[in-house]
Structure 1
Amino acid sequence: MKARMYLWGLSLLPHIGSITIRRLVEGMGSEEAAFHAEVEDLKTYGGISSGKAEAVVKVRSALNLAEEWNRLTQREDVELVTWLDEEYPRRLREIYDPPPVLYYRGSLGCLDGPTVAIVGRRRASPRGLGWAKRLGRALGAAGITVVSGLAMGIDAAAHEASLETGKTAAVLGTGLDVVYPKYNRQLYGDIPSSGVLISPFPLGTRPQRGNFPARNRIISGLSSAVIVVEAGERSGALITAMMAVEQNRDVYAVPGDPADSGAAGPNRLIQEGAKLIMGPEDVLEELCLSGQLKLPLEEPGKGRSPEASSRAADSTTQELLRILASPLHVDEIAGMTGLPVSVINSSLVKLELAGLVEQLAAGVFQRVS
């Protein structure tokens, strides 16, 4: 318990990142000794300058660590995991320079299975939002946790869609208690019940430009693959993709019209070796082939006939196939069947992957004749 407290204390000090913390702990022999390091120790084992070492000691002297730790651990709305804990996310532990401490709300268990990040620009086009939702629903229905950054645009669309059929993990660029952007307050509140909110930053941390590359690095670190839906030439989504490559993660990209600025990033990634995807089934098949996912997949329109698939389907999918002779919105389907929207979305994703229904517009489906 003490080691966790002192490691948390080290994470609060200025000019000390995770690499420096590891050096200090190794050099001083323990987290407690590292936390109490004096200026010369900080210079010798931490490799930081005299000025920075003096700043560290000054901040530490003003910190009542035990009192602050007790206050944190008594909160019911925040939990803490450190790299000393078994619960620390496995994939994140594997990367170079993982954060020593994560604050979270929800269940870290959703990160134990397959995880895929969906990222893209904030000012997304209707097409981009449609892609993010389609991917989020399909991956969620397949039991994959969708990871993203809770930003507006592609991130929010991916989170919302994956919650309809499965689980999602949101990595924040602020403290866990700071909702940013405010527009996503409802989503921020919904995620912990079916996923997890995560932040490497101390409580109260406001949004700052320098926080977001660190957030993006964690997004890719938590994921076995990253999908870029829309991104400009200087988008943070491209930073996430580059970090994914460094972390030996697969990178997928949704191609687009070269005349569209939002397609510039994905198209460039494809030129540089990212895997082009034309639908959710491409990602699911890749995950199956790599052994990360066990899911019986069929190419749309191939394998079993619609009649055979219908006979094998449960009563819900049979009912959907019956009423989708003409185009219907998900809300209309819910009104006609009385089924929860989450159940309808999950079934529609499976039928779409099997080539039995097609999505004509956002939320509008029809049976394939």
Structure 2
Amino acid sequence: MPVSQEEAFARIRLLRSPHVGPVSFRQLLARFGNAVAALEALPEMASRGGGKGQVAPEALVRAEVAAVRAAGARYLFHDDPAFPALLAELHNGPPILTVRGDLALLQKPAVAIVGARNASAAAISLARQFGRELAAQGRLVVSGLARGIDAAAHEGALAEGATAGVIASGIDIAYPPEHAALQDRIAAEGVLIAEQPAGTQPQARHFPSRNRIIAGMAAGTVVVEAAPKSGSLITARIAAEAGREVMAVPGNPRDARARGCNYLIREGAVLVQGAEDIAELLDSFTGSPRSRFREEAPVFAHLAPDEAAETIADAAPADIAGLISSAPVMVDELIRTSGAAPSAVQLALLEMELAGRIQRHAGGRVSLI
């Protein structure tokens, strides 16, 4: 069912309000049925959580909407049929995206290709080949428009099909600046995606969020070349946590840029050497990845996004404030320790989050701010 203009504006305003993140946004919609009602209830909920809730000013949101339109972009909500289906499955996936380009491409089977910014010439050539051959098969090649591997994968895909570029800035900001032409070409021939509000300059904290979109859109993530502690490995971890395929290209152990990929393979990622290897894995993907690369995941933590959203609608908050400290703890541990219903714990956390008292971490963990 199409979202009314009033509801669309309220959703944007809700997400831009202080202390409202992807998880709390969905829980608020589930509890109140729509964003208009959620905005009205936000101050009272924050007050119950021990703080003072604030709502994003209307003027600020109107300016953002105008900037999105001026950039030739549009908003895409998480429950829109055009929203990438696999991305919608993430418990902390973005509720709202801004996009430029052909939305129909978001329904293609997607593969993410990521890697080092200071990549070797051989790795750049291979990433370009991967992008070209996978796009020629009808796949949407997803990457982050960074220097090195990302740019090569985009260029290869554009030569034979289409690509999706996910940026850490607003939809109207080109980053890095030298990729402005490539970013415009992706918007014209493929699809450009941003989560941050229009006008937002990229900051370090935005890149992990961008990486979860890259991994979340695709059934599999391929790491071509990467250092052991790099954003590419963060993307691989997110893909593993989401139950997607993680693939890596082996490299010379004497090259520091290959150590990240070699580590992934040692830990259970699937070794790939050509586009045919990638295609074979993705064509047979049924939701159970062959890669054994895993991060430690909570057993119960986020309940499951749909179940949490449904049960929180009629819940009363649990008394769990005394159980939370500055050390991150899993939500399922709070449920076990408190003995309260999962929905009651989720509602208490929601109120505390809106009050600015807690923050959420990867793996379904929370801590006091």
| TM bucket normalised to smaller | 0.7 to 0.9
- Identify the residue that residue 337 of structure 2 maps to in structure 1: none
Name the CA shift for 1:239/1:40 in 2 (closer, same or farther; >3 Å). same
- Identify the residue that residue 36 of structure 2 maps to in structure 1: 32
One-letter amino acid matched to 1:244: A
Post-superposition offset of 1:130: 1.1
Post-superposition offset of 1:43: 4.5
- Identify the residue that residue 196 of structure 2 maps to in structure 1: 201
- Match of residue 22, structure 1, among 23, 26, 51: 26
Secondary structure of the 2:99 match is strand
2:69 & 2:184 partners in 1: Cα distance?
A: 20
Q: Give the gaps of 5 or more residues in structure 2.
A: 288-369
- Identify the residue that residue 215 of structure 1 maps to in structure 2: 210
One-letter amino acid matched to 1:259: R
1:216 & 1:126 partners in 2: Cα distance?
A: 24
Q: Give the gaps of 5 or more residues in structure 1.
A: 293-369
Name the CA shift for 1:35/1:110 in 2 (closer, same or farther; >3 Å). same
Contact (CA 8 Å) 2:73, 2:98: kept in 1 or not?
yes
Structure 1 residues 137-216: aligned runs within 5 Å:
137-216=132-211
Secondary structure of the 1:263 match is helix
- Identify the residue that residue 16 of structure 2 maps to in structure 1: 12
2:244 & 2:154 partners in 1: Cα distance?
A: 20
One-letter amino acid matched to 1:34: A
- Match of residue 96, structure 2, among 76, 98, 101: 101
One-letter amino acid matched to 2:276: E
The structure 1 segments of at least 4 consecutive aligned residues displaced by more than 4 Å after TM superposition are 65-70
Secondary structure of the 2:41 match is coil
1:259 & 1:277 partners in 2: Cα distance?
A: 19
Secondary structure of the 2:58 match is coil
Contact (CA 8 Å) 2:169, 2:175: kept in 1 or not?
yes
One-letter amino acid matched to 2:73: V
Structure 1 residues 299-338: aligned runs within 5 Å:
none
Contact (CA 8 Å) 2:68, 2:98: kept in 1 or not?
no
- Partner deviation per Cα, 1:196-235 (whole Å, 9 max, x = no partner): 0000110011110000000000000001110000100111
- Identify the residue that residue 272 of structure 1 maps to in structure 2: 267
Post-superposition offset of 1:70: 6.3
2:98 & 2:242 partners in 1: Cα distance?
A: 22
Post-superposition offset of 1:14: 2.2
Name the CA shift for 1:215/1:88 in 2 (closer, same or farther; >3 Å). same
- Partner deviation per Cα, 1:295-330 (whole Å, 9 max, x = no partner): xxxxxxxxxxxxxxxxxxxxxxxxxxxxxxxxxxxx
Name the CA shift for 1:245/1:42 in 2 (closer, same or farther; >3 Å). same
Secondary structure of the 1:23 match is helix
One-letter amino acid matched to 1:290: F
Name the CA shift for 1:190/1:206 in 2 (closer, same or farther; >3 Å). same
Identity of aligned residues (%): 41
1:65 & 1:24 partners in 2: Cα distance?
A: 21
Q: Which of 30-39 and 67-76 deviates more?
A: 67-76
1:138 & 1:28 partners in 2: Cα distance?
A: 47
1:133 equivalent to 2:137? Answer no
- Identify the residue that residue 300 of structure 2 maps to in structure 1: none
2:177 & 2:193 partners in 1: Cα distance?
A: 17
1:280 & 1:104 partners in 2: Cα distance?
A: 28
Contact (CA 8 Å) 2:112, 2:141: kept in 1 or not?
yes
- Partner deviation per Cα, 1:75-107 (whole Å, 9 max, x = no partner): 461111112322211111111121111000001
2:25 & 2:59 partners in 1: Cα distance?
A: 19
Post-superposition offset of 1:288: 2.9
One-letter amino acid matched to 1:95: L
Bigger relative contact order (CA 8 A; separation at least 6): 2
CA RMSD of aligned residues (A): 2.0
- Identify the residue that residue 250 of structure 2 maps to in structure 1: 255
Secondary structure of the 2:108 match is coil
Post-superposition offset of 1:193: 2.4
Name the CA shift for 1:104/1:83 in 2 (closer, same or farther; >3 Å). same
One-letter amino acid matched to 1:17: G
Name the CA shift for 1:86/1:16 in 2 (closer, same or farther; >3 Å). same
Post-superposition offset of 1:21: 1.4
Q: Structure 2-normalised TM-score?
A: 0.73
Contact (CA 8 Å) 2:68, 2:171: kept in 1 or not?
no
1:3 equivalent to 2:4? Answer no
- Identify the residue that residue 228 of structure 1 maps to in structure 2: 223
2:228 & 2:121 partners in 1: Cα distance?
A: 19
- Identify the residue that residue 339 of structure 1 maps to in structure 2: none
- Partner deviation per Cα, 1:42-77 (whole Å, 9 max, x = no partner): 344xx5x51xx34x24xx3x4337844763675461
- Identify the residue that residue 239 of structure 1 maps to in structure 2: 234
Post-superposition offset of 1:286: 2.1
One-letter amino acid matched to 1:148: S
Contact (CA 8 Å) 2:164, 2:192: kept in 1 or not?
yes
Larger radius of gyration: 1
2:191 & 2:110 partners in 1: Cα distance?
A: 13
